[in-house]
Structure 1
Amino acid sequence: MNEKPTMAAPLTSLTSPLVTRERIAVAILFFLNGMVIGAWAPKIPFFASTLGLTELMLGMMIFVFGVGSLVMMPVAGLQIARLGSRKVSIVTTLLFIPTIVLVTLVDTVWMGAIAIFLFGGLTGAMDVAMNANAVEVERKMRRSIMSSCHAFWSLGGLCGAATGGLLIAALGVMGHVLLLAAVCLVLFLIARPMLLSDAPHPEEVKAKAGTKLTLLPWLIGLVALFSMVPEGTVLDWSALYLRNELGATTETSGFAFAAFSFTMAVCRFAGDIVRDRFGAVRTLRFCAVMAIIGLVLAGQAGNVAISMIGFAIAGIGISNMVPIAFSAGGNIPGLPPGVGLSVVTTMGYSGILFAPSLIGFVAEHTSLSSVYTAIPALLVVVLVLSNLARHADRVDNGQGS
């Protein structure tokens, strides 16, 4: 074979179906996971008041959530290599659903810390498993689906957050989580028989992990990390930026993230079609350029309206960068998908979990305007490494080619 790695073609999907049972199943898992995380947001004040947490203590609890995710993600990756993504997806989902009930039942700080560690850990483990299953579905379909899967996660988060407060008011905190767990269980039971069953590769873990796990997954992980840092920065700091530096009212200060989230969700649903048409490398480069333009525009905006346009453009760009990085991480030649994905997802999510606190420290000594203007430097690195996205187009490896 004289195929050059740098010339990997985009997926050919002219004869493959647009929707399959396996695609529906993994999309349901993404929606389920997103819905629980979205429903957790309106529960945080009740969690804090029940345990008597100060703001500092609550910050430490959220940090424990992130630590749990980063600890459990590599564990999930190794288990996927040994058992296959379907089995790990099933187990992690079944363990994940009760954790939202567990964090509601705790009544001491130490039990709260244990509960939120498990909640974060199983969130991360399920995330790796369902992304690995999505990679396998991409391989089988020879069609990109990762962006739409992440769009379903965003849609689930929107549903969970939008209904959480209303349901808590109507049913109480415990009634809300019991209903949420019941809905998640029903969704899981619908998805389980349709989940793609993939073959584990324990022999590859022993024979190849030591020799193949070189710089490549870490470089792709760097792409994911530098793609998720801007997302976390917009999530945690955009409202404060609009209010404190651009004079927005409390009512309008959340519009920046709303604009960002809207364009990101829309573009994630369209992202698979774009990637199939133009290939992962060109799609990633376009996204990185759009994100750079949007963030610089937002950072240099002289008023709220211009900043919201900038954040909306940034949402267009950032929307499909992480899905492409995850697909590439799950398709590294000679490396089991779970192992590569665990490296990429762990590095990526560390950006959204821990970078915003560092951003806050920097902003105290400069300004959020300066932060949003400087953050695009990370995306320049993504552009430099964008050729690594070619691995996202190799989803038919092992399928007879």
Structure 2
Amino acid sequence: MRAAVSAMFLMNGFVVGSWAPLVPELAQQHGLSESALGLLILTLGLGSILIMPVSGALIARIGALPVLRVTCILCSLALLPVALAPGVPVLVGVLFVFGGIIGSMDIAMNANAVVVEKRLRKAIMSSCHGFWSLGGLIGAAAGGVLIDRFGSGMQVALVSAIALVIALSFVTRLAPDLPLAADAKPRFRLTLAPMPYVVGLVALFSMVPEGAILDWGALYLRQDLGADVTYSGLAFGAVAATMAVMRFAGDAVRRKFGAVTTMRYSAIVAAVGLLLAATASGPTMAIAGFALSGIGIANLVPVALSAAGNLPGLQPGVGISIATSMGYSGILMAPALIGFIAEYQSFSVAFMGLAALFIVVLGLSPVARHADLNEAAETPFAGG
């Protein structure tokens, strides 16, 4: 069951990473400025933020497993209509759906990872996100090469075929949902307790910079620093590479030092790396900065989501849905804002501003204590 949920993270990351080198191609194909492209990418975040609450409600009612099984198949095919859209109006629609599928699968696979953590009574969330980063690295690095040699149509066709094989190979091996206690009501409702929203704020300020590098890193390298199409894909690829390495080590780091200390030092490193990328004089230095920021970003989101899934009194799907929805709300707002800043100021200014978000994460790091699992403790779910 651990291998199966890890494969879901790998496939999702592979599809999202393959999106990164496609962004400049879409801009060129449809003649879009930075601000127009930002508004277009806005629809991706809009799809995520509007559809994710529906997914959270479904997970609370029927469990994460059925939702994950459906969304992993949809996700494997989601890039095809993006690349083949004949015009901007159609592209807006398919990006909305693409964002909804990615976001829905995100909630479901994180909820399933929390189930596996509870069954195994050990932290696995960081390594799951490590597989996501590994998939992102493969998708981003290979995407630029494939687009350069064969065009975007062939790139997304190959991505879809590989992703579908992964989904079909592991979808029947995913861990079943844990049964709820007898008095638990399987429904989704927003809670008035502040802690899920505080954890969500941490997820928000951790996901926005990562999403900014995904959406704008390639264009920053190509437009501002003179990188070619193949090299530009390494912006997100560098982040994905260092994130993958650190996430595979993250569970052990969290067990040794604790979630709070892990989050504090991660936030500091992420801020320094993003500042280095923002002030770079060439693409190599920028990629090095993005890579350093990836080291810091790596375990922020896994720790936050693990904390959200283990908040007392909440089902894992509910806490994760709130935290992830807040995180994606930043992805909803950030692309357009960054696009406007880049057009009227520069990408450098935009990335410097994003570095400041990690200072807020540093201040809120005590909420990570909920991610510290007592591996010897009994699961709070009946029948677990």
Question: Which digits, 9 at most, give the CA deviation of each residue in 1:217-261, with x for residues without a partner?
Answer: 11101001111233344445667777898xx55368777655544
Give yes or no for contact 1:81–1:201 (8 Å, CA) kept in 2.
no
Change beyond 3 A, Cα 1:308–1:221: same
Aligned to 1:97: 76
Give the counterpart letter for 2:193 in structure 1.
Answer: T
Q: 1:69 aligned to 2:48? A: yes
Q: 1:266 aligned to 2:245? A: yes
Q: 1:250 aligned to 2:227? A: yes
Question: Which digits, 9 at most, give the CA deviation of each residue in 1:354-397, with x for residues without a partner?
Answer: 32432454566766555555544422322222111111124764
Change beyond 3 A, Cα 1:85–1:113: same
TM (norm. structure 1) is: 0.79
Q: 1:195 aligns with which of 151, 159, 174?
A: 174
Give yes or no for contact 1:204–1:335 (8 Å, CA) kept in 2.
no
Equivalent residue runs for 1:1-400 within 5 Å: 22-44=1-23, 52=30, 54-55=32-33, 58-107=37-86, 109-164=88-143, 166-167=145-146, 176-199=155-178, 201=180, 204=184, 209=189, 212-235=191-214, 249-250=226-227, 259-296=238-275, 310-362=289-341, 372-394=351-373, 397-398=379-380
Give the counterpart letter for 1:358 in structure 2.
Answer: L
Give yes or no for contact 1:84–1:200 (8 Å, CA) kept in 2.
no
TM (norm. structure 2) is: 0.82
Aligned to 1:15: none
- Bigger radius of gyration, 1 or 2? 1
Aligned equivalents of 2:167, 2:219: Cα separation in 1? 38
User: By how many angstroms is 1:310 displaced?
Assistant: 4.7
Aligned equivalents of 1:187, 1:258: Cα separation in 2? 21
* Runs of 5+ consecutive residues of structure 1 not aligned to the other structure: 1-21
Q: Which deviates further from its counterpart, 357-366 or 188-197?
A: 357-366
User: By how many angstroms is 1:84 displaced?
Assistant: 1.2
User: By how many angstroms is 1:352 displaced?
Assistant: 3.6
Number of equivalent positions: 376
Give the counterpart letter for 1:250 in structure 2.
Answer: A
Change beyond 3 A, Cα 1:118–1:200: farther
Q: Which deviates further from its counterpart, 363-372 or 173-182?
A: 363-372
Change beyond 3 A, Cα 1:350–1:114: same
Change beyond 3 A, Cα 1:29–1:355: same
User: By how many angstroms is 1:174 displaced?
Assistant: 5.0
**Root-mean-square deviation (CA), in Å?**
3.6
Aligned equivalents of 1:371, 1:48: Cα separation in 2? 19
User: By how many angstroms is 1:331 displaced?
Assistant: 1.4
* Runs of 5+ consecutive residues of structure 2 not aligned to the other structure: none
